[in-house]
Structure 1
Amino acid sequence: MSRIQANLILLVAAAIWGSTFVVQHVSMDVIGPMSFTSARFFLGFLVVLPLALREWKKKKAVRKEKPFLVVSKKDFFLMGVIGVILFTATIIQQYGIIHTSVTNAGFLTALYVPMVPLLGLIIFRKKPHWITWIAIACSFSGTTLISGVDSSLQLGYGDALVLTSTIFWGLHVLLVGLVASRTSMPLTLASIQFAVSAVIGFIFAIAMETITLEILKSAFWLIAYAGILSVGIAFTLQVVGQAHTQPADAALILSMETVFAAIAGAVVLGERLETNGIIGCALILSAILMVELLPMLIRKRRHYS
């Protein structure tokens, strides 16, 4: 798969995720966040499982000498960790969406883009380009404008939760890129992370919420959309795409979900941004472009000079 094809796949994933913000927002009127999260990931797991088993079988056939070493213990463990991180990012974001607008949630989630190089520095000791720090400052400024920060400079509760989730989304993008490219088994990674997220969500749902057949029936189409499209298809497309492109490029393409979220919020829920919010969105998108495109343009200029 070429890099352009991988980026197009990631763009499709971003479009699905952007529209899913509306579904996540509306679903909270009929079902608890833990139940919804567990159900959507379980459904996504069922969608990907046949493909993952087929991938595993092909990989096993290639490694005839050591068929049981299709995935190393370290990578298998990392896949499980990625599932825990995915659940953490999703549930924090889900609780945040309850207390903020779809538009705010979509744009605030985009802050994981500057988080990717920052976390890369902390975890992998990979020094980010100097422009990253300026991008982070722009992102924070944009966040304050979108969130309607008051004179005490406090984010709204929902906005703060969504903002916190970006740390885990950034970490998720980094680890998915690492494991998917190293193992060349994106579908196996997808199925394992979905299964782990579904199990964790189910445990918390039993302890914290009321789950009845009537509630599940009421939320069926919402769960189906979020489970089949957002999890089963979009998250799998992310893993497949990231196996053929760089984490930073992937973060840029996936951040387009913020634009799709704003469009979906306007069309379905009638949400509108005020002037400060529009300026904030522009600052965040500028930060995204800054952290991704400027280093590339500088390198090209040096190459041709």
Structure 2
Amino acid sequence: MQTKFTANAMLLLVTLFWGFSYLFMKMGLNFVQEYNLIALRFGIAFCLAAVIFSARLRKANLQTIRYAFVLGFILFLVFSCILFGIKFTSTSHAAFLVSLTVIFVPIITALISKKVPESKVMIGVIFALLGVGLLTLDSQLSINFGDVLCIAGALFYATHIVVTEKLTKAVDSILLGTIQLGFAGALGLIFSLFLEVPRFPVATEEWIPILVLSILCSAIGFIVQTVAQQHTTPTNTGLIFSLEPVFAAVFAFLFLGEILSMQGWIGALLVLCGVIYSQVNWSRKEIM
């Protein structure tokens, strides 16, 4: 029981980190461009993880590297969508839309297995779709381009989770996670070199968001998640991760002054309800 409590506490800490990652991504984009930020965030995270797991890295084989490239590429797509998305939408909108990942995962899994999703997932989808409509549609019933990108980011992230579950069975999961960070950073650097004017942060206020994203949200976040999920249930993990957009909305209000409209809050609540409902085993009431 104590181990499970500790694991849940670790996941809550990771969720807190990821909640304020939207705030720091928005701050980071004031100093560097999107692909440049991806290159710095994941490049630094990879270097830190490589130092910690240097002994494991020396044992990397071609299969692990190949799998890591696939995951790194998907991770690159995830954060490309999110970073470009938050340029055109609010931090709160982005966080609640990316939380749709939790609903996309069972849908993608069902499509792969060619099985109808569970009823709780379908009900969760209905809640989430209603919420997304209220959260994103304006009076002309048009959706913001940034919101579309964030939803695409959630879809790619769900794909990343499903693919990770398949690939990690055959190789060292920590080694796989470490190398994927390197590939994501390398792809960010390549795109930045061709499409942007890459630069290193200079002043302290420029380095703060980059280092927070690299150390807390990426290096520590991914490693702690991997360790913690060995000692808790998928239901607990999903429920804890559903708090991410709530943390993001609080930080956006405190530090950016972002305020959702009443329609936005109702939509956000419906998205959150849909995410939570899809994760709870209602037949057994195994919430904890």
Structure 2 length as normaliser, TM-score?
A: 0.89
Pick aligned residue for 1:209 from 196, 221, 243:
196
CA distance in 1, matches of 2:5, 2:230: 13
**Do the aligned partners of residues 191 and 179 (structure 1) sit closer, same or farther apart at CA in structure 2, a change above 3 Å counting?**
same
> After superposition, what is the alpha-carbon deviation per residue over 1:156-201, rounded to whole angstroms, capped at 9, x for unaligned?
1111110111101111222334444x25733212211100101100
Q: Which has the higher helix share?
A: 1
> After superposition, what is the alpha-carbon deviation per residue over 1:257-299, rounded to whole angstroms, capped at 9, x for unaligned?
1111011101111111221111111101111121111xx2314
**Superposition RMSD on alpha carbons, in Å?**
2.4
CA distance in 2, matches of 1:123, 1:71: 28
For the residue of structure 1 that corresponds to 2:283, the secondary structure is helix
- 1:118 is aligned to 107
- 1:224 is aligned to 211
- 2:28 is aligned to 27
CA distance in 2, matches of 1:152, 1:131: 32
- 1:42 is aligned to 43
CA distance in 1, matches of 2:81, 2:70: 17
CA distance in 2, matches of 1:174, 1:7: 22
User: Which stretch of structure 1 is more off in the superposition, 270-279 or 182-191?
Assistant: 182-191
Give the gaps of 5 or more residues in structure 2. none
**1:135 counterpart = 2:124:** yes
2:250 counterpart letter in structure 1: I
- 2:250 is aligned to 263
Give 1:22 shift. 0.6
Pick aligned residue for 1:165 from 153, 163, 166:
153
2:177 and 2:222 in contact (8 A); partners too: yes
Of structures 1 and 2, the larger Rg is shown by 1
**Length, aligned pairs only:** 283
For the residue of structure 2 that corresponds to 1:155, the secondary structure is coil
State how 1:6-25 maps to structure 2 within 5 Å.
6-25=7-26
Pick aligned residue for 1:190 from 153, 157, 177:
177
**Do the aligned partners of residues 234 and 240 (structure 1) sit closer, same or farther apart at CA in structure 2, a change above 3 Å counting?**
same
**Do the aligned partners of residues 9 and 71 (structure 1) sit closer, same or farther apart at CA in structure 2, a change above 3 Å counting?**
farther
CA distance in 2, matches of 1:8, 1:227: 21
- 1:233 is aligned to 220
- 1:67 is aligned to none
> After superposition, what is the alpha-carbon deviation per residue over 1:20-65, rounded to whole angstroms, capped at 9, x for unaligned?
11111122122100001111100100111122223457xx6xxxxx
Give the gaps of 5 or more residues in structure 1. 61-69
CA distance in 1, matches of 2:233, 2:13: 17
1:117 counterpart letter in structure 2: P
CA distance in 1, matches of 2:184, 2:219: 13
2:11 and 2:237 in contact (8 A); partners too: yes
CA distance in 1, matches of 2:234, 2:65: 20
